[in-house]
């Protein structure tokens, strides 16, 4: 077990290192640099030259990368080219906002979708199952921005004014200081991810419910509740854990579309902005963080899988 | 619908608008929609109805939703680049003079007068209004003007305005007394007051620090977070008493158009700029909101490099201008929110060559010109990107119209930073956007070999000579005669295709009043929130 953990952590760090190289190379391949991005339409040769020197963009690519890596290893994410503020300062607030949004969405979506999946499997082929299966299929097919805009129309602008239409978080404050701004973005995320997880859960639950040991448990006279939650669910949940991890990582990467629709000050919009600005230090920092979240969530999902699967749990011994 | 009948109907409201221009301010309404609906189109454009003049009360807080913005936002008086930057600029800072909302004669702001010395456009005297104050209480003096000009032109770190007033002979600038400055130029230029009056040439105090922004504008700095919002408060000692009316002004960035509109609908902001064309009709039906339509001189040209094949042959340029069906483009790209143009800019300049015949689509003529130039079946690449509302759609419509003349236009979409990347000002065939300007200032920006943004590489020797003569000519009617010649040359041989002048459309809550249409193309009435307040 600990051997497995150490190996995975080493691989994770290696992955992050490779990601940083690939992303850095990709930013170099983009035409234009931060100086041109900042000047935009007024990019006269004189002003580009002055600003390029000011931003130290005239160093070689290798030395820029080396400089960045050295900084990161000593805990310094560098200075944003576009704002001249420290990257850590620039992204800290947005990171917190994104984390809060994902947390709220996950707390609602995970139990909801597991519960729904189990319920659909238990009610298999009955009207409730058909209706829910159809609904989840339709919702899974809808792009997030459609869900977001429908929610805005229903709850913020045209029909009822219950929640704010856009999530304006004053600088210096966080999303949790004004929790009403999180409701619609989080609801959109919940509606977007629940169908996937619940359908996976339903499928594997259906399979497990048909297995011999469940029939055996029923024949032994165990209550329906014990059969489902003690015997069936732990065995059916593995695929759902894996899918949940992927969905969570996807949300953590900053669901750009949702941040745009609600003007939510999260990581995704910042990343898009920084790519457009060719703001390499910020792009690097954000992609490394997103990659790290993927690595960690996958690791956690694998650990959870091992814990619920006795065969795997004891394999290493 | 034939192009001709549509064009007549488009032209008619235009001339009526011009005739009635004086009456507009008084509150006359002109129904362009009524005239246009006669041609059977289902969409009628938002019409130019000036908002009613209503009593205004002091106090309150106003939140404005601005288009775009991001972490590269600035608050430096001399470095505005994107929409929220320019919005902040108009409210925190002021230049010496500016064009008023109706683009009439120059209106003095900090200056009391800007006069040429001894009848020559080579040396100018600027006299400041007495008793003006910066936000920090310091009075505005000649030293601040000299400091600001030097800061803008600084060769080591040229600011946005360096290209507009770089011809000032900075070493010879002289303070005549505390409020008077002599400004000599490197060459005579009759439009100096216009150039020095651009918003990005604001006057800042000696020792200006952009981290603690101080200006003379109607609002004072309180906080600024790039990509999110800026908060300003009322400047009580503003010279134009009793303005501004509101106590607090908050400018909020919106990356997404839909979010900006939703914020207005949901009441999270009180006004937004740049209404997406698709929602104009919907918002006009909303009783709580008012849509502000401004006719402007903004233009989004197609730029042909006159020194590069195939456009180095004047016949190809003429053919390309004849391929465009302008009314159709106005209808499809702007949803009729614009007016016909004639490949010339600066429609509000008294020198504008309105007498030159309107150019219409003429595919036969275009084909025969291309044939004569040996470019039958020509294929070109048009570089476009999301640089301005509507330009990508215009590229698509152009490509489709050109195919009717047998020209194959391949559209190359690039992102903004690529568009303004190393190939910027070097694209053979691309697009651009320009604000409303008077003719000579515009020429200085884009139509001379010395211009910073000469995207068509236009360098016609006769044209250059005429411009030099016109710049030195202080007599307006004589100058305009020269400029008619210059414009005729551009009309016949230039590298721009200018199909239309686009309208500016914004929206605000009916709780507010004081917004007036601005021909400058700067949204929400020149961004002048000093005029805005809550209804009494």
List, for residues B109-161, the tens digit of each pLDDT value.
Answer: 999 999 999 889 999 999 999 999 999 999 999 999 999 999 999 999 999 99
More confident residue, B200 or B38: B200
Q: Which of A38, A73, A108 is the last residue of a domain?
A: A73
Q: A84 forms bridges with which residues in the sheet?
A: none
Averaged over A204-214, what is the pLDDT?
A: 92
Report chain A residues whose CB lies below 8 A from the CB of B265.
Answer: 156-158, 165
More confident residue, B372 or A161: B372
Report chain B residues whose CB lies below 8 A from the CB of A279.
Answer: 71-72
Identify whether residues A176 and A308 lie together within a single domain.
yes
Q: What integer pLDDT is reported at residue B26 of this predicted model?
A: 33
Q: B505 forms bridges with which residues in the sheet?
A: B293
Identify from B259, B425, B432 which residue to disrupt to test chain A contact, counting A C-beta atoms within 10 A and taking the largest count.
Answer: B259
Q: Per the domain annotation, does A82 fall within a domain?
A: no
Identify whether residues A37 and A127 lie together within a single domain.
no
Q: Which of A44, A73, A102 is the last residue of a domain?
A: A73
Identify from A58, A86, A87, A168 which residue to disrupt to test chain B contact, counting B C-beta atoms within 10 A and taking the largest count.
Answer: A168
Averaged over B231-248, what is the pLDDT?
A: 96
B256–A39 C-beta distance less than 8 A:
no
B258–A36 C-beta distance less than 8 A:
no
Residue B373 above 60 pLDDT?
yes
Chain A residue with minimum CA distance to B421? A32
How far is Cα of residue A86 from the mean position of the Cα atoms in its chain?
24
Q: What integer pLDDT is reported at residue A144 of this predicted model?
A: 85
- Return residues 65-84 of B near A (CB < 8 Å): 70-72, 81-82
Neighbour count for residue B490 (Cβ, 10 Å): 22
Q: Order the strands of the B180-184 sheet from edge to edge.
A: B111-117, B120-128, B180-184, B174-177
Q: What integer pLDDT is reported at residue B49 of this predicted model?
A: 64
Identify whether residues A150 and A7 lie together within a single domain.
no
Q: Is B418 on the interface with A (CB under 8 A)?
A: yes
More confident residue, A212 or A83: A212
Residue B289 above 60 pLDDT?
yes
CB A240 within 8 A of CB A110: no
CB pairs under 8 A between A and B: 138
pLDDT band at A316 (very low <50, low <70, confident <90, very high): low
Percentage of chain A lying above the pLDDT 90 cut: 31
Least trusted range by pLDDT, from A66-75, B109-118, B185-194:
A66-75
Give CA–CA dist B88/B83, Å, rounded.
Answer: 9
Least Cα separation, residue A1 to chain B (angstroms): 45
Averaged over B155-181, what is the pLDDT?
A: 94
CA A274-A14-A64 angle, 5° bins: 45
Averaged over B479-495, what is the pLDDT?
A: 97
A279–B422 C-beta distance less than 8 A:
no
Neighbour count for residue A209 (Cβ, 10 Å): 19
Q: What integer pLDDT is reported at residue A41 of this predicted model?
A: 79
Q: Is B415 on the interface with A (CB under 8 A)?
A: yes
Percentage of chain B lying above the pLDDT 90 cut: 77
pLDDT band at B41 (very low <50, low <70, confident <90, very high): very low
Identify whether residues A32 and A159 lie together within a single domain.
no
Q: Per the domain annotation, does A80 fall within a domain?
A: no
Q: Per the domain annotation, does A81 fall within a domain?
A: no
Residue B35 above 60 pLDDT?
no
Averaged over B177-188, what is the pLDDT?
A: 96
Residue B19 above 70 pLDDT?
no
pLDDT band at A2 (very low <50, low <70, confident <90, very high): confident
Averaged over B493-516, what is the pLDDT?
A: 96
Among B136, B149, B145, B161, smallest CA distance to B216 is for: B136
Give CA–CA dist B511/B60, Å, rounded.
Answer: 11
Give CA–CA dist B496/B246, Å, rounded.
Answer: 43
Residue B181 above 50 pLDDT?
yes
| Three-class DSSP category at B107 | strand
Identify whether residues A205 and A265 lie together within a single domain.
yes
- Output DSSP code: residue B185: B
Chain A residue with minimum CA distance to B286? A158
Chain B residue with minimum CA distance to A31? B418
Burial of B493 (0-12, 13-18, 19+ CB in 10 A): middle
Nearest CB partner across the interface for A278, out of B155, B252, B417: B417
Averaged over B333-360, what is the pLDDT?
A: 95
Locate B64 and state its tokens: 């404005």
A269–B416 C-beta distance less than 8 A:
no
Identify whether residues A277 and A206 lie together within a single domain.
yes
Q: What integer pLDDT is reported at residue B2 of this predicted model?
A: 38
Q: Which of A73, A98, A115 is the last residue of a domain?
A: A73
Chain A residue with minimum CA distance to B69? A273
Report chain B residues whose CB lies below 8 A from the CB of A172.
Answer: 225
Q: What integer pLDDT is reported at residue B24 of this predicted model?
A: 34
Report chain A residues whose CB lies below 8 A from the CB of B268.
Answer: 164-166, 168
Q: What integer pLDDT is reported at residue B47 of this predicted model?
A: 61
Residue-wise pLDDT tens digits, B375-394: 999 999 999 998 888 999 99
Nearest CB partner across the interface for B71, out of A166, A170, A279: A279
CA A234-A239-A242 angle, 5° bins: 110
Q: Is B417 on the interface with A (CB under 8 A)?
A: yes
Residue B281 above 70 pLDDT?
yes
Chain B residue with minimum CA distance to A80? B71
B252–A168 C-beta distance less than 8 A:
yes
B256–A50 C-beta distance less than 8 A:
no
Residue B25 above 80 pLDDT?
no
Report chain B residues whose CB lies below 8 A from the CB of A44.
Answer: 158, 163, 452-453
A168–B262 C-beta distance less than 8 A:
no
Task: Find the domain containing A26 and state its range.
Answer: 2-73
Least trusted range by pLDDT, from A163-172, A271-280, B3-12, B511-520:
B3-12
pLDDT band at A254 (very low <50, low <70, confident <90, very high): low
Residue B211 above 80 pLDDT?
yes
Give CA–CA dist B319/A199, Å, rounded.
Answer: 60
Report chain B residues whose CB lies below 8 A from the CB of A158.
Answer: 265
pLDDT band at A51 (very low <50, low <70, confident <90, very high): confident
Q: What integer pLDDT is reported at residue A43 of this predicted model?
A: 81
More confident residue, A140 or B182: B182
CATH of the domain at A202: 1.10.3720.10
Q: Per the domain annotation, does A254 fall within a domain?
A: yes
Least Cα separation, residue A113 to chain B (angstroms): 29
Identify whether residues A234 and A95 lie together within a single domain.
yes
Please report the sign of the dihedral spanned by the C-alpha atoms of residue B132, residue B138, residue B143, residue B147.
negative
Q: B114 forms bridges with which residues in the sheet?
A: B126
Q: What integer pLDDT is reported at residue B45 of this predicted model?
A: 62
Residue-wise pLDDT tens digits, A283-294: 999 999 889 988
Q: What is the DSSP string of B68-86?
A: B--TT----TT---SHHHH
Averaged over B224-242, what is the pLDDT?
A: 94
Residue B1 above 90 pLDDT?
no
Q: What integer pLDDT is reported at residue A161 of this predicted model?
A: 84
Identify from B61, B65, B198, B268 which residue to disrupt to test chain A contact, counting A C-beta atoms within 10 A and taking the largest count.
Answer: B268
Residue A264 above 80 pLDDT?
yes
Nearest CB partner across the interface for A165, out of B226, B266, B415: B266
Least Cα separation, residue B452 to chain A (angstroms): 6
Identify whether residues A119 and A239 lie together within a single domain.
yes
Nearest CB partner across the interface for B255, out of A149, A161, A260: A260
Residue B37 above 90 pLDDT?
no
pLDDT band at B341 (very low <50, low <70, confident <90, very high): very high
Identify whether residues A221 and A303 lie together within a single domain.
yes
Identify whether residues A17 and A116 lie together within a single domain.
no
Backbone angles phi, psi at B245, to 5 degrees: -85, -35
Identify whether residues A48 and A8 lie together within a single domain.
yes
Domain count, chain A: 2
pLDDT band at B48 (very low <50, low <70, confident <90, very high): low
Identify from A26, A27, A32 which residue to disrupt to test chain B contact, counting B C-beta atoms within 10 A and taking the largest count.
Answer: A32
Residue B21 above 70 pLDDT?
no
A42–B223 C-beta distance less than 8 A:
no
Chain B residue with minimum CA distance to A262? B259
ipTM over 0.85: no
Nearest CB partner across the interface for B420, out of A32, A50, A54: A32
Chain B residue with minimum CA distance to A276? B417
Q: Per the domain annotation, does A170 fall within a domain?
A: yes
Nearest CB partner across the interface for B262, out of A166, A278, A282: A166
Nearest CB partner across the interface for B225, out of A42, A166, A171: A171
B387–A47 C-beta distance less than 8 A:
no
A262–B227 C-beta distance less than 8 A:
no
B81–A39 C-beta distance less than 8 A:
yes
User: In B226-362, which ranges are E strands?
Assistant: 229-234, 248-254, 271-272, 289-299, 302-304, 338-340
A261–B259 C-beta distance less than 8 A:
yes
Q: Is B227 on the interface with A (CB under 8 A)?
A: yes
Identify whether residues A125 and A43 lie together within a single domain.
no
Q: Per the domain annotation, does A28 fall within a domain?
A: yes
Among B340, B427, B325, smallest CA distance to B384 is for: B427
- Output DSSP code: residue A229: I
Q: Per the domain annotation, does A78 fall within a domain?
A: no
Give CA–CA dist A262/A165, Å, rounded.
Answer: 7
Residue-wise pLDDT tens digits, B357-369: 999 999 999 999 9
Q: What integer pLDDT is reported at residue A315 of this predicted model?
A: 64
Q: Per the domain annotation, does A43 fall within a domain?
A: yes
B265–A157 C-beta distance less than 8 A:
yes
More confident residue, A28 or B403: B403
Averaged over B21-48, what is the pLDDT?
A: 40
Question: What is the longest distance spanned by two Cα atoms in chain A?
Answer: 85
Residue-wise pLDDT tens digits, B71-112: 888 999 999 988 899 999 999 999 999 998 888 899 999 999
Chain A residue with minimum CA distance to B200? A42
Q: What integer pLDDT is reported at residue B44 of this predicted model?
A: 56
Averaged over A128-153, what is the pLDDT?
A: 90
Give CA–CA dist A299/A307, Å, rounded.
Answer: 12
Helical pair A267-277 and A87-122, crossing angle rounded to 10 deg:
130
Tell me the whole-structure pTM to 2 decimals: 0.84
Report chain A residues whose CB lies below 8 A from the CB of B267.
Answer: 161
Mean per-residue pLDDT over chain B, rounded: 89
């Amino acid at each position: 077990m600990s051997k497995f953990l150490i190996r995975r952590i080493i691989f994770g760090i290696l992955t992050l290192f490779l990601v940083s190289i690939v992303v850095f190379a990709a930013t170099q391949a983009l035409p234009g640099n931060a100086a041109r991005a900042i000047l935009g339409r007024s990019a006269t040769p004189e002003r580009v030259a002055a600003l390029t020197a000011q931003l130290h963009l005239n160093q070689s690519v290798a030395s820029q990368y080396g400089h960045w890596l050295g900084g990161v290893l000593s805990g310094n994410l560098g200075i944003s080219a576009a704002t001249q503020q420290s990257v850590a300062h620039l992204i800290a607030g947005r990171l917190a906002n994104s984390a809060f949004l994902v947390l709220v969405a996950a707390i609602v979506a995970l139990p909801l979708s597991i519960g729904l999946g189990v319920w659909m499997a238990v009610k298999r082929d009955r009207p409730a199952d058909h209706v829910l299966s159809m609904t989840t299929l339709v919702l899974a097919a809808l792009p997030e921005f459609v869900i977001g805009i429908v929610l805005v129309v229903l709850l913020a602008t045209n029909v009822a004014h219950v929640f704010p239409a856009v999530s304006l978080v004053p600088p210096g404050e966080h999303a949790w200081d004004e929790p009403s701004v999180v409701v619609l973005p989080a609801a959109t995320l919940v509606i977007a991810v629940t169908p996937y997880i619940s359908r996976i859960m339903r499928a594997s639950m259906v399979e497990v419910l048909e297995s011999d040991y469940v029939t055996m448990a029923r024949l032994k006279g165990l209550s329906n509740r014990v059969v489902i939650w003690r015997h069936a669910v732990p065995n059916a949940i593995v695929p759902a854990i894996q899918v949940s991890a992927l969905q969570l990582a996807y949300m953590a990467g900053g669901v750009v579309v949702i941040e745009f629709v609600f003007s939510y000050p999260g990581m995704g919009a910042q990343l898009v902005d920084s790519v457009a600005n060719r703001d390499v230090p910020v792009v690097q920092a954000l992609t490394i963080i997103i990659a790290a979240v993927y690595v960690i969530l996958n690791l956690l999902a694998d650990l959870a899988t091992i814990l619920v699967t006795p065969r795997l749990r004891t394999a290493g011994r | 619908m034939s192009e001709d009948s549509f064009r007549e109907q488009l032209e008619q409201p235009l001339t009526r608008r011009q005739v009635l221009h004086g009456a507009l301010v008084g509150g006359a309404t002109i129904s362009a929609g009524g005239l246009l609906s006669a041609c059977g189109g289902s969409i009628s454009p938002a019409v130019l109805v000036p908002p009613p003049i209503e009593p205004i009360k002091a106090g309150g807080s106003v939140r404005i939703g601005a288009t775009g913005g991001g972490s590269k936002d600035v608050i430096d008086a001399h470095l505005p680049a994107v929409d929220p930057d320019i919005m902040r600029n108009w409210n925190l800072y002021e230049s010496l003079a500016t064009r008023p909302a109706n683009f009439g004669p120059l209106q003095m702001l900090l200056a009391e007068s800007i006069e040429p010395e001894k009848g020559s456009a080579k040396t100018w005297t600027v006299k400041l209004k007495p008793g003006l104050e910066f936000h920090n209480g310091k009075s505005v003096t000649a030293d601040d003007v000299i400091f600001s000009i030097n800061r803008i032109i600084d060769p080591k770190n040229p600011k946005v305005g360096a290209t507009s007033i770089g011809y000032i002979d900075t070493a010879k600038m002289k303070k005549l007394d505390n409020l008077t400055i002599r400004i000599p130029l490197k060459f005579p230029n009759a439009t100096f007051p216009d150039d020095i009056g651009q918003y990005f040439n604001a006057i800042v105090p000696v020792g200006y620090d952009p981290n603690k922004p101080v200006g003379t504008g109607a609002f004072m700095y309180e906080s600024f977070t790039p990509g999110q919002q800026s908060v300003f408060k009322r400047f009580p000692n503003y010279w134009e008493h009793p303005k501004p009316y509101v106590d607090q002004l908050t400018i909020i960035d919106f990356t997404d158009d839909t979010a900006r509109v939703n914020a207005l609908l949901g009441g999270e902001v009180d006004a937004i700029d740049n209404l997406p064309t698709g929602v104009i009709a919907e918002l006009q039906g909303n009783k709580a909101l008012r849509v502000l339509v401004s006719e402007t001189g903004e233009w989004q040209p197609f730029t042909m490099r006159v020194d590069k094949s195939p456009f180095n042959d004047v016949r190809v340029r003429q053919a390309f201008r004849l391929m465009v069906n302008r009314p159709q483009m106005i209808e499809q790209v702007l949803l009729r929110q614009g007016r016909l143009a004639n490949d010339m800019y600066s429609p509000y300049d008294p020198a504008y060559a309105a007498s030159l015949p309107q150019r219409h689509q003429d595919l036969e003529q275009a084909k025969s010109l291309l044939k004569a130039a040996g470019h039958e079946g020509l294929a070109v690449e048009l570089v476009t990107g999301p640089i301005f509302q509507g330009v990508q759609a215009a590229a698509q419509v152009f490509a489709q119209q050109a195919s009717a003349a047998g020209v194959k236009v391949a559209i190359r979409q690039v992102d903004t930073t690529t568009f303004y990347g190393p190939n910027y000002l070097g694209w053979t065939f691309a697009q651009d956007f320009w604000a409303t300007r008077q003719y000579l200032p515009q020429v200085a920006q884009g139509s001379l070999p010395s211009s910073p943004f000469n995207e068509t590489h236009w360098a016609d020797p006769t044209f250059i000579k005429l411009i030099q003569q016109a710049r030195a000519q202080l007599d307006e009617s004589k100058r305009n005669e020269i400029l008619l010649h210059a414009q005729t040359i551009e009309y016949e041989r230039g590298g721009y295709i200018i199909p239309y002048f686009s309208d500016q459309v914004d929206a605000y809550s009916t709780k507010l009043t004081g917004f007036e249409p601005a021909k400058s193309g700067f949204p929400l009435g020149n961004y002048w929130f000093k005029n805005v307040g809550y209804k009494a």
